[in-house]
Structure 1
Amino acid sequence: MAPQPHRTPADRLDQPDQQPAGRRAQAAAAREAAQRTERRHRLLIRSAAGLLGLAVLGGLTAIVVGDRGGGSSVGDSAATGIPTQPRTTAEGRTSTPPWNAPADPAAAVAAAGLPMLGAEGTVEHIHAHLDVYLDGQAVTVPALVGIDEGAQRISPLHTHDTSGVIHIESPVTADFTLGQFMTEWQVSLAADHLGAARTDATHTLTAYVNGKAVTGNPAAVKLGAHDEIALLYGTSPENAQVPVPRGYAWPSGL
């Protein structure tokens, strides 16, 4: 039999199957750690790509929503058709009273720059009161200004009866003016006239809010909660017969 070659301890350690168990375990652990690092690296790359894709998709979605007007909520003025800046002029009849409620309330409301709603708004719910005096005589503010009973539609600015109470019932918080209401009523109003009544050397037109005279354009008067608004036109003796109201006896619930 041929003699076997002599192997040193170092020769035996060079053979994989001859490595001690501890070194084999260390090598396996190192390979597993390397594999984990590689998997984590690939995961980070995929995550970054995914985030980039979401960012691009989000940007495109925002553009699409913006183009479709999706950014407007139900409560926005633009969505409800109620202007953020109310009109400060009043257009309508330049005749003498009586001034009944318009036969076409929807057209009058549109002229005031306001929408006809399917129901009274609840976000802003306040009331003001209007008195009108012409040549010392009270003029009736009619019922159903801003209300179309046939179509079952209603303006956020309207009257229910002849008490002079103006209801402001809006789906958004907004300013409303006397000019808007007078336009809905279709009675022309400016600093120099009320309907057919025009100011001259002996006749004046004065607007009062809570008993205090307001200078300038009466159509620009804003309607505040429980404001008492009065319009007085006439000669000095005629106007002197009218006690300027400072307030209104509000019924319970208004």
Structure 2
Amino acid sequence: MVLLTGCSSTSSAGAAPSQPSSAPSQPSAAPSIPATWAAPLDASAAAQQAGLPMLGQEMLAVHYHAHLDVTVDGQHITVPAQIGIDNIRQAISPLHTHDTTGIVHIESAENVPFTLGQFFTEWGQPLTSHQVGPTTISNGEVLRVYSNGTLITSDPAALKLQAHQEIAVWVGPSSATPTVPSTYQFPAGL
């Protein structure tokens, strides 16, 4: 039997997930995720497409967490639970989510660089200068990606994930300067 319980510090079933220090409190009910932003039905195939292995258990030799906020045209997009977790095959990817807090778990047997692009591919969502998820960036709009409040000017998909990193992916008018979080208050033990 494979154990896919996640970090001991993450929220358990029925408990409200921790909130970012810069965000207002959310209702305790799971947020509604539009079908176009939902986790893929076949987590193993999505992980394979991202170049990630599926493992029989979480590997904790390398263990850290990053946080992801996505805002498209003023709408906060909820990062779904269970990205990278295949309950049918009882397998888990080194990059995964347990809940809808936006916390990305990086749990691997090897210290290899994992990227934001791999996570988006595993989520089943494109991340390019022309498209984020199901949203095509139109004339007058722009994609901006921030790491710990600093604008990333290189390929956003190549951004390497780091411990306690706050990543903000924002799509909106090219004339706008978004206000994005530079930190995230991770639960104790993460």
Instruction: Select the residue among 104, 112, 117 that pairs with 2:55.
Output: 117
Q: Which of 104, 107, 114 is 2:42 aligned to?
A: 104
Deviations 1:83-132 (A, max 9, x none): xxxxxxxxxxxxx8641111000000000111110111111000000000
C-alpha separation between the residues in 2 aligned to 1:123 and 1:191? 34
Distance 1:132 1:159 in 2: 15
Q: 2:179 aligns with which of 202, 221, 243?
A: 243
Contact 2:54–2:94 at 8 Å: present in 1 too?
Answer: yes
Residue 170 of structure 1: which of 99, 104, 108 is its match?
108
User: Using CA pairs below 8 Å that are at least 6 residues apart, which structure has the higher relative contact order?
Assistant: 2
Which amino acid in the other structure matches residue 109 of structure 1? Answer: A
Contact between 2:36 and 2:134, CA under 8 Å: does it hold in 1? no
Cross-structure match for 1:182: 120
Q: Deviations over 1:143-164 (max 9, x none)?
A: 0000011221100110000000
Q: Does 1:191 align with 2:129?
A: yes
Distance in 2, matches of 1:97 and 1:207, equals 23
SS in 1 for 2:51: coil
Q: What secondary structure does 1:108 align onto?
A: helix
CA distance in 2, matches of 1:247, 1:120: 26
Distance 1:234 1:173 in 2: 35
1:89-238 equivalences in 2 (<5 Å): 98-236=36-174
> Any unmatched runs of 5+ in structure 2?
1-33
TM-score normalised per structure 2: 0.78
How many angstroms apart in 2 are the aligned matches of 1:97 and 1:219?
A: 22
The structural deviation recorded for 1:197 is 2.4
C-alpha separation in 2, matches of 1:223 and 1:172: 14
Instruction: Name 2:9's counterpart in structure 1.
Output: none
Q: Any conservation in 1 of the 2:147–2:165 contact (CA below 8 Å)?
A: yes
The one-letter amino acid of 1:212's match is T
2:101 maps to amino acid: S
| Number of residue pairs aligned between Structure 1 and Structure 2 | 157
TM-score with structure 1 setting the length: 0.59
Give, in angstroms, the shift of residue 136 of structure 1.
0.9
Runs of 4+ in 1 over 2 A off after TM superposition: 195-201
Structure with greater strand share of residues: 2
Distance 1:210 1:203 in 2: 22
Distance in 1 between residues matched to 2:174 and 2:161, nearest whole Å: 27
Distance 1:199 1:153 in 2: 34
Whole-Å separation in 2 of the counterparts to 1:98 and 1:253: 33
The one-letter amino acid paired with 2:122 is E
Unaligned segments of structure 1, at least 5 residues: 1-95
Give the fraction of aligned pairs with identical amino acids, expressed as a percent. Answer: 51
8 A Cα contact 1:159 1:166, kept in partner: yes
Q: Is the CA contact (8 Å cut-off) linking 2:125 and 2:134 kept in structure 1?
A: no
- Say what the alpha-carbon RMSD is for the aligned residues: 1.6
Normalized per residue, which structure has more helix? 1
Name the counterpart of 1:93: none
Q: CA deviation at 1:236?
A: 4.8
In structure 1, how many angstroms separate the alpha carbons of the residues matched to 2:68 and 2:36? 16
